[in-house]
């Protein structure tokens, strides 16, 4: 048994070492010589789109997260499938929006620098620029990723709004992310909307006995019940009530008051390390900086570099 455990640990660290080796192919300014205006071109497309539809910020951020957590940050979430069996067809990805922004960015880049900039890098840049357009954090995006050729609906196993803290920590650790990264990246819930089905169990049937989640603030629960009836499948809820269009620390203040919308938000208080990070972010002014650090770290997950993968001509189909 001990030998088996040692083998599992050894394999885990081998995966991390391989990921780190690939990530060494990334760097800020990767296209400085081959396509010097690449980042500016993407930013122009993103800012124009965000001006028309600022609510795209949250889905675009989530798109990058969902890409990196399945097969690594290889742009596989962007691929279409003729039989609806790609990652984007999985239930957690059905609410993603903004794929046309990736298409428009790629088309603009292909006119200037054909075959140079990967779709996976474009997605990393789009996620950053969407936050900047919302007057949120900025960070230097490492580039140099190449695109994957495979996208499989059966490989989509993302952290869930229903997860407990043990599951969340485990899922993040497998991607080389620690407890602080978990808390900081959860802070992305400061923008965007959730929907009633994702939290109705917390209101009406938490343990299967027609009860509510005791970790949910009672006044907040009463307010949510007025908006979400047990059979409601469509009503949208602000992830960060009163501040869902603004990237700020109010999310952490709400979680600290037991007013996180999802079970996974509330779970951040169930571990001493994650709880400490929540309280620190609620008090302090380092969220923007910390968010950028964690986004860069996540952006190194399972990347393809060098001669691995390809540079897609169109982001929705492999070459």
Q: Is the pLDDT of residue 62 over 70?
A: yes
The pLDDT value recorded for residue 22 is 52
Q: Is the pLDDT of residue 2 over 60?
A: no
Over its C-alpha atoms, the chain yields an Rg (Å, rounded) of: 20
Q: Is the pLDDT of residue 125 over 90?
A: yes
The pLDDT value recorded for residue 17 is 47
Q: What number is the average pLDDT over the span 25-33? A: 97
Distances from the Cα of 307 to the Cα of 76, 249, 301, angstroms: 17, 41, 17
Question: Which domains, ranges and CATH numbers included, belong to the chain?
Answer: 27-158 (1.10.520.10), 165-298 (1.10.420.10)
284 assigned binding-site residue = no
The pLDDT value recorded for residue 319 is 96
Q: Is the pLDDT of residue 32 over 70?
A: yes
The sign of the dihedral angle between the CA atoms of 191, 192, 197, 200 is positive
Q: Name the residue among 259, 243, 264, 59 with its Cα closest to residue 160.
A: 264
Dump pLDDT digits (tens) for 263-287: 999 999 999 999 999 999 999 779 9
Q: Which residue has the tokens 């790629």?
A: 106
70 assigned binding-site residue = yes
The pLDDT value recorded for residue 8 is 45
DSSP-derived 3-state class of residue 277 = helix
Q: How far apart are CA 100 and CA 183, in angstroms?
A: 30
Q: Is the pLDDT of residue 11 over 80?
A: no
Q: What number is the average pLDDT over the span 232-255? A: 93
77 assigned binding-site residue = no
Q: Which residue has the tokens 């999985």?
A: 90
Average pLDDT, the chain: 93
Q: Is the pLDDT of residue 68 over 90?
A: yes
Q: Is the pLDDT of residue 216 over 90?
A: yes
Dump pLDDT digits (tens) for 281-314: 999 779 999 999 999 999 999 999 999 999 999 9
195 assigned binding-site residue = no
Output phi, psi for 238, to 5 deg: -70, 125
DSSP assignment of 66-126 equals HHHTTTSSSSGGG---TTS-SGGGSGGGTT---HHHHHHHHHHHHHHSTTTS-HHHHHHHH
Q: How far apart are CA 6 and CA 12, in angstroms?
A: 10
Dump pLDDT digits (tens) for 47-60: 999 999 999 999 99
DSSP-derived 3-state class of residue 28 = strand
Q: Is the pLDDT of residue 9 over 60?
A: no
Output phi, psi for 193, to 5 deg: -125, 150
159 assigned binding-site residue = yes
72 assigned binding-site residue = yes
Among 109-123, 196-210, 265-279, the range scoring the smallest mean pLDDT is 196-210
Half-sphere exposure of 137 toward its Cβ, with a 13 Å CA cutoff? 25
Dump pLDDT digits (tens) for 143-154: 999 999 999 999
Catalytic residues: 66
Q: What number is the average pLDDT over the span 146-163? A: 97
Residue 6's pLDDT band (cuts 50, 70, 90): low
Residue 23's pLDDT band (cuts 50, 70, 90): low
Output phi, psi for 310, to 5 deg: -155, 175
Q: Is the pLDDT of residue 203 over 60?
A: yes
Taking each helix axis as running N to C, give the angle between helix 38-52 and helix 99-112, from 0 to 180 degrees, rounded to the nearest 10: 150
Q: How far apart are CA 299 and CA 301, in angstroms?
A: 6
What residue spans of the chain are helical by DSSP H? Answer: 2-23, 38-52, 57-68, 99-112, 119-133, 165-173, 179-186, 200-204, 218-227, 250-256, 263-266, 272-283, 287-298
Query: What pTM was estimated for this model as a whole?
Result: 0.91
């Amino acid at each position: 048994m001990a030998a088996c455990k040692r083998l599992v640990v050894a394999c885990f660290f081998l995966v991390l070492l391989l990921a780190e080796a690939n990530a060494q192919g990334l760097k800020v300014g990767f296209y400085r010589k081959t396509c010097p205006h690449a980042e500016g071109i993407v930013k122009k497309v993103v800012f124009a789109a965000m001006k028309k539809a600022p609510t795209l910020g949250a889905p675009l951020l989530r798109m990058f997260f969902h890409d990196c957590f399945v097969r690594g940050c290889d742009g596989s979430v962007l691929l279409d499938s003729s039989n609806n069996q790609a990652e984007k067809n999985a239930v957690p990805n059905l609410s993603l929006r903004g794929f046309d922004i990736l298409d428009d960015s790629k088309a603009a880049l292909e006119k200037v620098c054909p075959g140079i900039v990967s779709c996976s890098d474009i997605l990393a840049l789009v996620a950053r620029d969407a936050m900047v357009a919302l007057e949120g954090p900025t960070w230097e995006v490492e580039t140099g990723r190449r695109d994957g050729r495979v996208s499989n609906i059966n490989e989509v196993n993302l952290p869930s709004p229903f997860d407990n803290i043990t599951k969340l920590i485990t899922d993040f650790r497998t991607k080389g992310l620690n407890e602080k990264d978990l808390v900081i990246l959860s802070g992305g819930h400061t923008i965007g909307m959730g929907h009633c089905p994702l939290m109705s169990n917390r209101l009406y049937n938490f343990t299967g006995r027609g009860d509510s989640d005791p970790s949910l603030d009672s006044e907040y629960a009463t307010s949510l019940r007025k908006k979400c009836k047990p059979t409601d499948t469509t009503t949208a809820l602000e992830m960060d009530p009163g501040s869902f269009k603004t990237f700020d620390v109010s999310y952490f203040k709400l979680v600290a008051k037991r007013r996180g919308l999802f079970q996974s938000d509330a779970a951040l208080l169930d571990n001493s390390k994650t709880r400490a990070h929540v309280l620190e972010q609620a008090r302090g002014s380092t969220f923007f900086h910390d968010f950028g650090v964690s986004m860069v770290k996540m952006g190194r997950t399972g990347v393809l570099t060098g001669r691995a993968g390809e540079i897609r001509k169109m982001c929705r189909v492999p070459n």
